[in-house]
A = this chain, B = another copy of it.
Amino acid sequence: MSTTTAKAATIESSKDMPAIKISRDFSATPAQLVKAHTDPDVVLQWLGPDGCTSTMDYWDPRTGGSWRYVHQIEGEDYAFHGCFHTVEEDRLVQTFTYEGFPDSVALETMTFEDLGDGRSRLHTQSLFDSYEARDGMLASGMDIGVNEGYAKLDGLLSAGTV
């Protein structure tokens, strides 16, 4: 994992809309990154912070499908659900609710930019339905989970698992 921990994601709070924008480079093709975000066996191996184990309640990664998973972290359950608005080769759009705040919904758009030479840049926009919800997510320590999850994904990619 020594090559992966140095690569922190860029996590920015938008000034003019209640969004969080994340970008992160990977040693992977766009097709590998789509697989990493849609194949449930792969998703379960990297999503979430270190020490988290995850189970999927349902996961139907197609345009019009839906999903729900539960992270177990230090004996506590954290559940999330949403639906897949778009599942395409270079773009995923999905809704996202953390069930601890069941009235808040985010719209997540992920695009996979081909940098050539087997590298890609993942761009994520998480658009929240209020500034309060966006700022609550930023204050939750989500950056730790994002970076630890991506570092695990780096490990899967370098091991040839994806």
A residues lining the B interface (CB < 8 Å): 16-18, 58, 63-66, 81-86, 91, 93, 95, 97, 103, 105, 107, 109, 125, 127, 129, 131
Partner of A83, one of B58, B66, B91, B125: B66
The DSSP consensus for interface residues of chain A is strand
Copies per assembly:
2
Instruction: A105 to B84: give the CA distance in the assembly, Å.
Output: 12
Partner of A17, one of B17, B58, B91, B109: B17
Residue numbers in B under 8 Å from A85 (CB-CB): 82-83, 95, 97, 105
For this complex, 10 residue pairs linking A to B, each with C-beta atoms less than 8 Å apart, are: A17-B17, A17-B131, A65-B66, A83-B85, A85-B97, A86-B97, A86-B105, A107-B107, A107-B129, A109-B129
B109 touches A95 (CB 8 A): no
Residue numbers in B under 8 Å from A18 (CB-CB): 17
Instruction: A17 to B65: give the CA distance in the assembly, Å.
Output: 28
